[in-house]
Structure formats: C-alpha cells, structure tokens
C-alpha cells in the first residue's frame, strides 16, 4: 500500500479566510432602479452573503459606444459591496458583445460548421481568432485592472464566461492550417498518414485544401476531427491567455479563474474543450453545477454520486480546493422540467460541495431578471423582492452555517487513494468511432457508474487525467480508455510494476493518439501487465443480455462483452451465455509488485459494488470516518494540519439510522458524539476528528 502523509497543509486559493457565499450579481440590468440596487445590499447582509461576481455580461454598460467608457455605476456598486465587508470576483465582459461592435466589426461574429455567418445575438459566440476582438478584450481588461486592481474588495478575476464553442471563419481556417503545419512538421505525408488519407481518396496535396470538419464537407476523417477538437481547445486557451495578459501584468497577486462546466443536461464531464490543458493556465478552478435534483429517471443517491464525481474531477485538476462559481438556490430554466428544490435539498446539495473541496457556494444569480430568457431561473431574490420566502430563508440559513464552519473547511484538502481516469481525447475519438453501439458508448456516464461503487463505500476518489502522477494512488480505475498512446500504456504498466492496482475494461487501448488502430493486437505493455488479450468486442442490442459469473454470483451484462484470450492471468469471472459461454469475462494478473484487472463486460451496478467492494477490503482502503449506514448516506471529508472535517449526508427521502464508530465532535455545537443516531431526510451532520501521525 502507498504511504499517505497525515499532515497536509491548507491550500487557500484566495486571500479570503471565509467560505465564499453569494454569486453572479448583474446590477447593470437594474441601473434605472436605484431602489433595487440599495435593497440588494440590505438583502446581501440578511442572506449572509459575502462575495459577488460582477460584470460578466456588462460590456454594453461599460462601453456603450466604441471608445466611450462608463465605470461610474460599477464604482458605486463595488463601494456598496465593500461597505458591508463583501468581496468581489470581477468578471471581464467578453462572454457577450455590445451590438455596436458586431455591426461595425463583423469579423467578431462566428461562422458555423455549415459556413453560415452568424448574426448578432445571444452570447458566448465570438470568434477566437478575430484580432479586433482580442485587442478590444485586452483594452477593456486593462481598464478594469487599472481601475480596480488595488481595490481592497477585489478577490479574484473571472475572465469571460463558460468558454466554449467553435468558429469556422476564414481566420480560424488559416489558424487551423498553421497549427497543423506545426504539428506535422510541415509534412503533408505525416499528416496524411495520421489522417489515413488514402481512405476514400482523401489524400491532401496542398495545405489550402484543408477545411475544418463540416456536415456539408469533410466529416469522415477521424484523425482530422480529433485534431480539430484539439485545435479548438488550443485556440480557446490562446484567446484566454491573450485576455488575461493585462490582468497578470497589472494585478500579479490577484488569482485568475475561468468558470468551467459539465456537459448538460447529461451532467457528465465537459467535452467541448480539453480542460486538462486549460487547467494549467488558471490559478483557481471554478465550475458551474446544475444537477437536476428530484428528477424522474434516477434516484437522489445516484445523482448525488454523479455530482460528487464532477466535484472530484474539478478538485483533482489542480489538487486544490475549487470555487463553485454558479449553482441555483431553487430551479434552473433550461432542464426539460424545472423542478423546485424540496425543503432541505439546498442545504444538503450546497454542503456536499464543501465536502468535495469547494470553498464557496455561489449562485446564478443574485436577483431574478425582470425580462428576457432567464427571468424564471432560480435566484436568491425572487420577483416578490422578499426575504420571507422559502428560497431566501434557506439561502440565509446556509450562509449562517457556512460562517460557522468556515475555519474548519476553507483551504482544507481532500485525500484520495483511488483515482479514476477521464480522458477527453479518448471521449472525442470514441464518440466519433463508427462502431460499437452508437448510442451505448456513454463514456462519461460509464465512469460515473464505476465511481458510484466507491462513493457508496465513502471512499474518496480523484478523477484525474492521463497526465497526472499515478504513483500516489493505491488503485487506479481506467474504464473504456479507447484512445491509448504507447506512452499511456507504458505509464500504466509502470504503475502496476511498482505496486499499484489497476482496473481497465472493455473498449480500452484500441486506437492511438491519431485515432489509428493499434496493429498486432493489444499494445505490448498492456498484454504484459494484464496477462491476457481482448480478442473481440461483442455489441448488444438493447434487449440482449448475458450474465457474468463472479464469486458464486451472477450479474447481468448488457451493451458490451469482450471475448478474451488468457495467457498468465487468473480467470475470476466467466460468461454464462452465447457462443462464448464459459469463457473469461473478468481477469486478474499479478504483475511486478501490483495487480491488473480486466473487466470484459458492461455489468450491472451490483457487480461494481461487489467487485470494487472486494478491492476496497483487499487493499484496506479507508473512508474519512467509519460510519455504518445504508445506501444513500454519504461520508466525505477534508483535512488540514491534523484535523479532519467530515460531512455525513443523507441523500434519501427517508430517515436513516447511522452508527458512528469513532468519537467525533459536532463542528457547530462542539458536542462530542459516537454511536447510533438518526439522520432526517436530507440532513447533514458536520463533525471533526483529530488525525494523528
């Protein structure tokens, strides 16, 4: 087992000692309502709110005409927030443009993949190549940094909003070609080899023939599609770096974030950009979380586990606390059905964020808009302008609790012995693959299913990328890593050789980093590490079933089953049906100082629970606190300097008996406790325990 340090230092990601509570504040929508602006500040105090992100969509208010700036309204708003001891996350407004700009400089407008120039409107749709837009964002950000850089309320920068999307204009085409020339050493032969050019006579003979993927043009060259996704990430990050240049220069001590997101409404890791690369450029990771609580297709514990997974993904990106930049205190306006959070859910879902590494609970938005598309999106202040409604009261109650627990949470770290690998490049390639089941690949969802088995046992997990250091983990779970370079395969082999336990699954190690299949069967490092080789992947119709026989129990298999040839590996499980009945479905191979497991089939949840349960026991993995409970209660902790703060959360709609097997102290009341208790529906208990060396 890998030794873990008991004494971890706090890692405060901002200069603020408190947990941050507040959110997106859009006073520019209310400038002709002075009473509303005054009321906002009064209500901020009542909500126990202390931090506001301002200005993400305020370009039209800040620069109403080209070169004519108006910062006075913002000065006033900032002073008001400062006067109540509030802090400021200052946004740059590039997420949406003023109309005058699109009218005068149409190059800022995107061209879509059908090569249609977009009209002015909506948001998050500027061209990342436009030199005018790049110059203007720098100008604007210079002014913001010069004016507010020394303001004592300024806590952090929030450049733009939810970077994403792509542009296919001529400027972007030219940049794509330049990027490709650099990548392929100016060699079309190299490019044609990677893109498998001769297929359908798609050999490129002049760089100018290259056009970004399009439904009305090239879309079948998978290597190109993959490069395009990489290029879009590169361009976005490059735009971001350009945007933040003045901020870095003028305010070197103010941390810079960028609000990341999930793929919605599926609520799986975001695949629009490669966040593992983007994360390197930001100081503080922040994200916008909108789980559909109380939906009618999954139970609350399942959604809680998926939310936890995403949090652990954002925590692991920089191995430090993150900021929850947006969430809703009630309902959103863009799910198919926008259901109100039931009483208690706001508190529970917000505290879950802290349990998994967030140092904030920030909302979109502070006050509900009066008009336009988000007027029914949940907010702290509703159209009734009251502090007496249920939502406001629950927000204020959370604010008080956050104040009480702040010094036992802020900057506290998470410690995980288990990692699950998410690779966005593999996700891109797998989704593009014309094969397997077109609707059943579900990479992100599959990772969340593996994760859930650990969540149910209260075992902390980091959701990492292939670039992370694997050596600090005892167990590494790598399901469905379709795209696997030789380098990654060797890294996995080294991990096992040195004592790690590795699990992979069906549809792994099939193509290389250019989306070309590996020749000669599975990669050598994988064959050696796993002592077996996948021979064939069988894909099932939705009604097809098989069974995996493991440890005397039978588990339902659907969607995928791999036919396996075993060399040195031990067979732990077999198929019970079909022409491969009785052949291996699950293998284990002791290799070097570690072990490697291969799961050949997509099995039901009970299999994950039993299989990972056994690994958890074999590897002596421990939760943050020993608590006996039924499914639906989750125990997660954060620690620093010898103290661990643990959140015991009831994600069910019923009372839950629990038994705490260690002596702990209630963080809020100071009461010492151990043994049996009952958690009310959605109740959270926050306790602390000292951890020795």
Q: Which of 16, 63, 162, 533 is catalytic?
A: 162
CB of 326: closest distance to ligand GAL in angstroms?
A: 6
Among all residues, whose Cβ is closest to ligand GAL? 364
Tokens of 405: 């627990």
Residue 177: Cβ-neighbour burial (10 angstroms; 0-12, 13-18, 19+): middle
Q: Which of 63, 218, 243, 326 is catalytic?
A: 326
CB of 262: closest distance to ligand GAL in angstroms?
A: 10
Catalytic residue at 162?
A: yes
Angle subtended by helix axes 72-83 and 34-46, to nearest 10 = 30
Closer CB to ligand GAL, 104 or 375, in the complex: 375
Q: CA 171, CA 297: separation in Å to the nearest integer?
A: 44
Tokens of 562: 């791999």
Tokens of 556: 């339902």
CB of 334: closest distance to ligand GAL in angstroms?
A: 6
CB of 327: closest distance to ligand GAL in angstroms?
A: 9
**Length of the chain, please?**
693
Closer CB to ligand GAL, 332 or 419, in the complex: 332
Closer CB to ligand GAL, 201 or 372, in the complex: 372
CB of 54: closest distance to ligand GAL in angstroms?
A: 13
636's CB contacts (< 8 A; 6+ apart) are 308, 352, 355, 356, 414, 458, 460, 624, 646, 647, 649
Give the H/E segment covering residue 504: strand 501-505
* Residue among 465, 443, 426 at smallest CA distance from 222: 426
Catalytic residue at 326?
A: yes
Closer CB to ligand GAL, 329 or 637, in the complex: 329
Closer CB to ligand GAL, 319 or 382, in the complex: 382
- Which is it for the CA torsion 561, 562, 566, 567, positive or negative? negative
CB of 381: closest distance to ligand GAL in angstroms?
A: 16
- Residue 592 per-residue DSSP state: T
CB of 377: closest distance to ligand GAL in angstroms?
A: 5
Closer CB to ligand GAL, 368 or 602, in the complex: 368
Residue 80: Cβ-neighbour burial (10 angstroms; 0-12, 13-18, 19+): middle
Q: CA 590, CA 602: separation in Å to the nearest integer?
A: 23
Closer CB to ligand GAL, 162 or 312, in the complex: 162
CB of 161: closest distance to ligand GAL in angstroms?
A: 5
> What are the φ and ψ backbone dihedral angles of 337, each rounded to 5 degrees?
-125, 130
- Rounded alpha-carbon distances, angstroms, from residue 420 to 15, 79, 284, 334, 653: 31, 45, 22, 30, 29
Give the H/E segment covering residue 344: none
Tokens 């102290």 appear where? 665
Contact 195/224 with Cβ under 8 angstroms? Answer: yes
b/e per residue 665-687 (b: at least 16 CB within 10 A): eebeeeeeeeeeeebebbbbbbb
Closer CB to ligand GAL, 328 or 442, in the complex: 328
Give the H/E segment covering residue 678: strand 672-679
CB of 515: closest distance to ligand GAL in angstroms?
A: 30
Residue 376: Cβ-neighbour burial (10 angstroms; 0-12, 13-18, 19+): middle
Binding site for ligand GAL (CB under 6 A): 161-162, 288, 290, 326, 332, 364, 374, 377
Tokens 């949840």 appear where? 605
Closer CB to ligand GAL, 374 or 610, in the complex: 374
- Residues labelled as active-site residues: 162, 326
């Amino acid at each position: 087992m890998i030794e873990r340090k008991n004494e971890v230092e706090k890692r405060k990601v901002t200069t603020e000692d408190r947990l941050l509570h507040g959110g997106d504040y859009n006073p520019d929508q209310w400038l002709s309502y002075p009473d509303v602006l005054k009321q906002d500040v009064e209500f901020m105090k009542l909500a126990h709110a202390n931090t506001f992100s301002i200005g993400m969509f305020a370009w039209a208010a800040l620069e109403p005409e080209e070169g004519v700036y108006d910062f006075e309204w913002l000065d006033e708003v900032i002073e008001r927030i400062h006067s109540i001891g509030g802090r400021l996350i200052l946004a740059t407004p590039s997420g949406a443009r003023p109309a005058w700009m699109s009218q005068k400089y149409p190059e800022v407008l995107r061209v879509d993949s059908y090569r249609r120039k977009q009209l002015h409107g909506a948001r998050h749709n500027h061209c990342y190549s436009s030199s005018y837009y790049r110059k203007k964002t720098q100008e604007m950000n210079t002014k913001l940094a010069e004016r507010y850089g020394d303001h004592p309320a300024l806590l952090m920068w929030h450049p733009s909003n939810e970077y994403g999307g792509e542009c296919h204009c001529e400027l972007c085409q030219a940049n794509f070609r330049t990027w490709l020339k650099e990548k392929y050493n100016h060699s079309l032969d190299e490019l044609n080899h990677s893109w498998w050019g001769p297929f359908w006579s798609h050999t490129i003979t002049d760089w100018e023939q290259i056009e970004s993927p399009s439904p009305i043009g090239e879309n079948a060259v998978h290597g190109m599609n993959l490069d395009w996704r990489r290029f879009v990430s590169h361009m976005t990050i490059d735009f971001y770096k350009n945007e933040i240049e003045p901020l870095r220069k003028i305010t070197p001590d103010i941390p810079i974030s960028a609000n990341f997101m999930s793929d919605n409404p599926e609520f799986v890791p975001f695949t629009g950009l490669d966040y593992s690369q983007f994360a390197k450029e930001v100081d503080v990771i922040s994200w916008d979380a909108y789980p559909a609580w109380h939906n009618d297709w999954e139970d609350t514990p399942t959604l809680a586990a998926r939310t936890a997974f995403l949090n652990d993904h954002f925590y692991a990106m920089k191995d430090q606390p993150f900021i929850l930049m947006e969430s809703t205190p009630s309902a959103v306006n863009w799910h198919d059905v926008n259901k109100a959070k039931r009483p208690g859910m706001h508190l529970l879902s917000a505290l879950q964020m802290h349990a998994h590494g967030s140092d904030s609970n920030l909302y979109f938005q502070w006050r509900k808009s009066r008009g336009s598309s988000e007027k029914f999106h949940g907010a702290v202040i509703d159209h009734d302008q009251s502090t007496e409604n249920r939502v406001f009261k629950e927000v204020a109650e959370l604010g008080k609790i956050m104040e009480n627990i702040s010094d036992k949470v802020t900057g506290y770290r998470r410690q995980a012995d288990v990692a699950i690998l998410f690779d966005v490049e593999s996700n891109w390639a797998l989704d593009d693959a014309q094969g397997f089941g077109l609707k059943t690949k579900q990479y992100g969802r599959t990772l969340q299913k593996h994760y859930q088995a650990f969540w149910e046992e209260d075992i902390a997990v980091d959701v990492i990328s292939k670039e992370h250091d694997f050596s600090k983990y005892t167990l590494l779970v790598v399901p469905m890593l379709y795209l696997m370079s030789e380098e990654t395969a060797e890294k996995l082999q080294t991990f096992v050789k040195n004592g790690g336990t590795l699990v992979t699954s069906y549809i792994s190690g099939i193509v290389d980093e250019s989306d070309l299949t590996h020749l000669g069967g599975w990669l050598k490092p994988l064959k050696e590490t796993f002592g077996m080789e996948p021979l064939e992947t069988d894909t099932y119709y939705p009604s097809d079933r098989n069974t995996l026989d493991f440890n005397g129990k039978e588990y339902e298999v659907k969607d995928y089953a791999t036919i396996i040839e075993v060399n040195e590996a031990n067979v732990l499980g077999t198929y019970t049906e079909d022409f491969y009945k009785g052949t291996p479905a699950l293998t284990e191979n002791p290799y070097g100082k570690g072990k490697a497991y291969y799961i050949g089939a997509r099995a039901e949840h009970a299999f994950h629970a039993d299989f990972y349960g056994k690994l958890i026991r074999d590897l002596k993995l421990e939760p943050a606190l020993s608590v006996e409970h039924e499914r639906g209660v989750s125990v997660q902790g954060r620690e620093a300097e010898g103290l661990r703060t643990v959140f015991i959360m009831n994600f069910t709609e019923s009372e839950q008996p629990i038994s705490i097997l260690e002596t702990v102290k209630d963080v809020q009341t100071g009461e010492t406790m151990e043994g049996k208790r009952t958690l009310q529906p959605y109740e959270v208990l926050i306790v602390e325990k000292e951890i020795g060396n």
